[in-house]
Amino acid sequence: MSRILITGMSGAGKTTVLRELSRRGYRTIDTDYDGWVLPDGTWDETRMSALLETHMPLFVSGTVENQGAFYDRFSAVVLLSAPAEILIERVSLRANNSYGRSTADQAEILQFILDVEPLLRGGATLELDGRRPVSELADELERLIRVSP
């Protein structure tokens, strides 16, 4: 099945590690971009189902309410995590996405850490510390995809 979902809070490093995996030649999809997420904040189920039927190996990144409906189609669900202060610092400084710069966004992220991250942790097959160097994270995810059935 060789498909890995990388999930986690905003600022955990999902997009950064996906860029590194893409640089290494892997097919990657960051569902924060290109219309994967519908206006209600869920993945477009038809589009995601089609993707998961056709492309392997594949790394997908995102955090949406209906992602659990797809867990059985991934060989691993990896939670990237980091302490709240690191997440807030990262989202405040990033240039590729404006979410997280406002006080309201940051309050929302802190609430998501309390409400959503435990759910992600419960569905994850592996948790990785998003403070690790990107190359190390990518190495570990690359090993996962190599041993996936």
**What is the longest distance spanned by two Cα atoms in the chain?**
44
Share of the chain above pLDDT 90, in %: 83
pLDDT of residue 95: 78
pLDDT of residue 96: 77
For the whole model, what pTM was predicted? Answer: 0.93
Q: What is the pLDDT of residues 95-147, one digit of tens each?
A: 777 788 889 988 989 999 999 999 999 999 999 999 999 999 999 999 998 87
Q: What is the CA radius of gyration of the chain?
A: 14
| Alpha carbons 60 and 53: distance in angstroms, whole number | 13
Q: What is the pLDDT of residues 57-90, one digit of tens each?
A: 999 999 999 999 999 999 999 999 999 999 999 9
How many secondary structure helices (H) and strands (E) does the chain include? 6, 5
